[in-house]
Amino acid sequence: MLLVSRQIDDAFERDVQGIDLVVGAKGSPLQLILAGVFHIDVPPGNIALADFEALARQPLVAEAIPLSLGDSFAGYRIVGTTPQYPAHYGAALAQGRLWQQPMEAVLGAAVARAMASASQDAAPGQGDALLGRRFVGSHGLAGGGHAHGAHPYTVAGVLAPCGCVLDRLVLTATESVWKVHESAQADDPDDLEALRQEREVTLALVRYRSPLAAVTLPRTINANTPMQAAAPAVEVTRLLRLLGVGADVLQAFGAVLLGVAALSVFIALWNAVRERRADLAMLRMLGTSRARGRAAAGRGAVAGADRLGPGPGRWPCTGGGGRLDAAGAERHARDRRAVAARGMGGARPCGVRGGGGGAAAGRAGLPGGRGRAAGAALNAWMGPNSLPFALCLFLRRRLLSVTHSF
C-alpha cells in the first residue's frame, strides 16, 4: 500500500511539473486540471483563440501552450497542440519525427503499442511499421463516437516511453483539430471562413515568468476575462486530501495485518519453548545454568528441531514430542503399560536409551565430562522393573515442581 501511494504521488508530480497555471472555460477548477493536465476528464468548455493570444502576450507569462481536445482514437485522446508540449516534458522520439503540417500525428508509447498489437501486419513494439500508417479519429473523448473518415491522420513519429501523460496521447497540430471539426460543420466557403474567424482552443498551460505572477495573474484572469485560472498545485493537493482518507484506512488495515502476523509468530515460538519446559527442568537438575538452558530451548524452537535429543538417545520423559527409534518406542510403550498397571494415570517414566543422556546433555551446553557422567548414571539406573524406576517417578514429580519456576 505504501508503494502504491508513493507511485500515485510520483505520477501526479511528474505530470504537473513545470505547469504553474491552467486556463480554460469557467467551471470546476478541479475538472479543468483533470482534463488539461492528466487527461482523465472532459473539459468544461472552450475559450476563444483571441483570448488565448491575449493571455500569451501577458508580460507575466513566460510560456503558454494551447491544447485542443475533442477527438480520440481507440480510447486515447487526440490533442492538438504545438511542439512546445512534448518539449515541456522532455519527450524524445523513438521513431520518425514531429508533425510538420496538419493531419500528421505523433503517437505516445502506449498508443503505439495498442496500434501495433491491434494490427495484423505488424508485431507489437515495432515502431518502424507504424510510420506512414493512416488512422481515423472519432468524435468524443471516450471513444465510440462518430468517425471522421474524410480526414485521416498519418503517423509521422512515435515517442519513446517517458512515464508521463504523453504516453497515452496522440499529438498533432492544432490546425488538424480545427480542420476536422470545421469541415464537419460546414461545406460552404463562406461558412468555413466564418468558422475560421471564431476558432477556439480548449485550454492553455501557463508557466510564470516570475513568482509575482502567482499573486496577481490568476485573480486578473478570473475577474476580468471570460476564462478561468486554476493552479494545479492547489487542486492536486485538494484531490489528494479527498483520496487520503481511503489511503489512510488501507494503510491502517495493512498495519493491523502485520501486527497479527507478528503476534502469530510470537505465539508459535512461545508455545514451542513451553513444550520444552520438562527438558529445561531436567537440564537444571543436571547442573546447567538457567540462561544456557533457555538458550538451548530457544534454538530448538526457532530451528524447528528438537535439539534436546530427537532420535536415538532421546529421554522419553521430555514431553516435547521428540522422535524415538524402534527400540526406544517399544521400551517407552512398555514403560507406559507398567505405569498404567500400577495406577499412575499414564505418567511418563524417564527411561533413557544407552549413551543418550550424555549426548543430550552435551548438546544442551553441559560440560563434556559432566554430561557423560550424568548420561552414564541415568543409563545404569533407569529400567521399568528396577528399584531406580521408583526414583524416576520421584524425579518426575520433582521435575514438575521445578518446571513451575520457569
Looking only at Cα atoms, what is the longest distance across the chain?
Answer: 125
CA distance 63 to 4: 33
pLDDT value of position 217: 93
Residues 315, 350: contact at Cβ < 8 Å?
Answer: yes
The answer on pLDDT for 357 being more than 50 is: no
Any idea which of 135-149, 157-171, 223-237, 360-374 has the lowest mean pLDDT? 360-374
pLDDT higher than 50, residue 156 = yes
Check residue 328 and give its pLDDT: 53
Q: What is the pLDDT of residues 288-329, one digit of tens each?
A: 666 666 666 555 554 543 433 333 333 444 444 444 445 555
The DSSP bridge partners found for residue 201 are 47
Distances (CA, A) of 301 to 133, 211, 273: 67, 64, 6
pLDDT surpassing 60 at residue 378: no
pLDDT band at 133 (very low <50, low <70, confident <90, very high): very high
**CA neighbor of 158 nearest in space, from 102, 97, 101:** 97
In this predicted structure, the answer to whether residue 343 has a pLDDT above a threshold of 50 is no
pLDDT winner (highest mean) among 109-123, 164-178, 382-396: 164-178
- Please report the pLDDT score of residue 315 as a whole number: 41
Q: What percent of the chain has pLDDT over 90?
A: 36
Q: Is 343 left (phi over 0), alpha (psi -120 to 50) or beta?
A: left
pTM higher than the cut 0.85: no
Nine cell digits for residue 161: 516511453
So what's the pLDDT on residue 334?
65
Using 50, 70 and 90 to split pLDDT, how confident is the model at 216?
Answer: very high
Mean pLDDT is highest, among 51-55, 290-294, 349-353, for: 51-55
Q: In this predicted model, which residue has the larger pLDDT, 262 or 398?
A: 262
Q: Do the bridges between strand 21-25 and strand 203-208 make them parallel or antiparallel, or are there none, so unpaired?
A: antiparallel
CA atoms within 13 A on the CB side of 191: 8
CB of 309 within 8 A of CB of 322? yes
Burial group, residue 209, by CB count within 10 angstroms (0-12, 13-18, 19+): middle
Cβ-contact 113, 167 below 8 angstroms: no
Amino acid 87: pLDDT: 94
Q: Which of 345, 346, 350, 369 is nearest to 358 (CA)?
A: 369
Among 193-202, 329-338, 363-372, name the one with the lowest average pLDDT: 363-372
Mean pLDDT of 75-81: 93
Contact 208, 20 (CB under 8 A): yes
Contact present, 85 and 67 (Cβ < 8 Å)? yes
Per-residue confidence (pLDDT) for residue 121, from 0 to 100: 47
Share of the chain above pLDDT 70, in %: 62
Supply the mean pLDDT for the chain. 75
pLDDT at residue 253 above 60? yes
pLDDT higher than 80, residue 243: no
Backbone angles phi, psi at 201, to 5 degrees: -125, 160
